[in-house]
Structure 1
């Protein structure tokens, strides 16, 4: 083979198109003076906007840009009219109800004036952005859970102290409650040697809430009345996270923080959905501040919607909070 045959390939239009197709790269060119953006077929599919021979205006593209990002994108594009050079921006676009992340990269011509163009690419970076959001959520969840563990330990100590007559009795009671929490943790944590098994809704809630009752078992001031609905191994962790969050908040602010407090968990089901009603009574008066969304509330909503195909609503009644969870029975059993 000669040196010419072994040299780097010639990057003609055909070979460039092969490379960009392999990388999922969409091409665009923006004529600054007329505000015309020429896009290739891949870019047209990404944006989902009708074009006139591949040409569209920035105004037309703006209708697809997420409202929260529109001003930022418009300002970035406008600034390039006066400052030729590199362009780099990530933003969201809307495709019906679907939100997609787009990375725009470009390079302006060296000279300014009439006919100036900017050339660049669009990349669909939705999966990467969602992965970054999931990592941030996981880090926040870990921090949130650690804080909750301290709150749970303090709350269980107070519960144990209410009925204990000696330090030894209190220590034994607290140890039993912490052991019950450990059992609940093992129930929702699969291991390589012991795969997580499906269970029923009543059994799962009883295990999760057992440590919070005055006697360390369900039935004293915590009542659970739910049908024997199957809970699949894929839904156990999600449901446990929601119950754990509600119980922690109750232990810190609600019925479980007071000696006279009571908690009832009931469930009704039809052919398609299960409605779980969490009702607290006898605790401190509920204030509006408890209803303000925080990280835990965001985590619960996201888990219910994404994993269980349902919803959660709160009634912040002065006598006690009522949380209503609606979940898909099909999702619950998976």
Structure 2
């Protein structure tokens, strides 16, 4: 027999299985007993001296996946061919992704035992979720930038005296928007205070302020305080989202609209108040669960340790951000 078709001994197979981090299982279709190797027990977070059944093991499967997994395993005996199913299991506060693979239709069954493998695919699933989130955020950003460009064009046309003047103003606004947009992405290698709060807000809101008759309709009044790189990036994203919504639907969409941003420090909490006036009559959104709203809520609560509240006054929305002072220093 050539080396190409040489028989693999048990030791070689075990080394290959260990290298691939494959967990083995066998399921007795009559008694429901599930026999697993040591890696499978560790993967499921179960002591290896516990007698396991498929029914009992299913209790560890995430409730949202449990029925789907049970139906899939039962269906494997209905038809031949390889099968694969990915699902989540819950281990305390941890959620782990497992891929179960095997051969269906009773193929290869010996002594009423079906055999297969478990693989820990948590890393791959987390990467996929990260890519989906990034794709969603990029799509949202592109749509917002197009809306912003349209709104800035309208703002500029109100004060421009000629086509040349409009081109120069619009170019300046878009350049400022580019500088502001740089603040909504991480900057590696920066230590210490990233910016003063007032400077950050001024840079972010500069593209939206009118020149000429309606100049100065955006007013920023905040105490002098430095903020760290991480919080500057996160806060920039939040302000960028609020300004975009205002330009699309709120005070900044109207030539007579005004925006006031004020701030107060209350013990360990920084209260930032965003007040719009003079724009279209405010109608509370029927659905505040869009990607942008979700992004803002996650950023404020998760990264800035705070909260965000909206007061949908008819004369203009008021947004109150309560932020942990210590978090802003990071």
* TM-score bracket relative to the smaller structure: 0.7 to 0.9
Give the aligned partner of residue 204 of structure 2: 208
Contact 1:161 1:170 in 2 (8 A): yes
Q: 2:172 matched to 1:176?
A: yes
* Residues 125-136 of structure 1 mapped to structure 2, 5 A cutoff: 125-136=121-132
**In structure 2, how many angstroms separate the alpha carbons of the residues matched to 1:310 and 1:17?**
51
CA offset at residue 318 of structure 1?
3.5
In structure 1, which of residues 172, 180, 185 is the aligned counterpart of residue 181 of structure 2?
185
**In structure 2, how many angstroms separate the alpha carbons of the residues matched to 1:55 and 1:74?**
19
Provide the aligned length of Structure 1 versus Structure 2: 326
Give the aligned partner of residue 29 of structure 2: 32
Contact 2:34 2:52 in 1 (8 A): yes
**In structure 2, how many angstroms separate the alpha carbons of the residues matched to 1:106 and 1:260?**
67
CA offset at residue 9 of structure 1?
8.9
Decide whether aligned partners of structure 1 residues 154 and 47 sit closer, same or farther in structure 2, where only a CA change above 3 A counts: same
Decide whether aligned partners of structure 1 residues 44 and 286 sit closer, same or farther in structure 2, where only a CA change above 3 A counts: farther
**In structure 1, how many angstroms separate the alpha carbons of the residues matched to 2:153 and 2:35?**
67
CA RMSD, Structure 1 to Structure 2 (Å): 3.5
Q: 2:254 matched to 1:261?
A: no
Q: 2:298 matched to 1:298?
A: no
CA offset at residue 259 of structure 1?
2.3
Contact 1:28 1:121 in 2 (8 A): yes
**In structure 2, how many angstroms separate the alpha carbons of the residues matched to 1:323 and 1:129?**
36
**In structure 2, how many angstroms separate the alpha carbons of the residues matched to 1:9 and 1:261?**
80
Q: 2:158 matched to 1:162?
A: yes
Give the 3-state SS of the residue equivalent to 2:86 in structure 1: strand
Q: 224-233 vs 128-137, which deviates more? A: 224-233
In structure 2, which of residues 45, 48, 57 is the aligned counterpart of residue 48 of structure 1?
45
Give the aligned partner of residue 279 of structure 1: 275
Decide whether aligned partners of structure 1 residues 170 and 309 sit closer, same or farther in structure 2, where only a CA change above 3 A counts: same
* Residues 32-181 of structure 1 mapped to structure 2, 5 A cutoff: 32-49=29-46, 53-83=49-79, 85-108=81-104, 109-110=106-107, 115-181=111-177
**Structure 2 unpaired stretches of 5+:** none
**In structure 2, how many angstroms separate the alpha carbons of the residues matched to 1:35 and 1:312?**
51
**Structure 1 unpaired stretches of 5+:** none
Contact 1:38 1:54 in 2 (8 A): no
CA offset at residue 311 of structure 1?
4.5
TM-score by length of 2: 0.82
Contact 1:276 1:326 in 2 (8 A): yes
TM-score by length of 1: 0.81
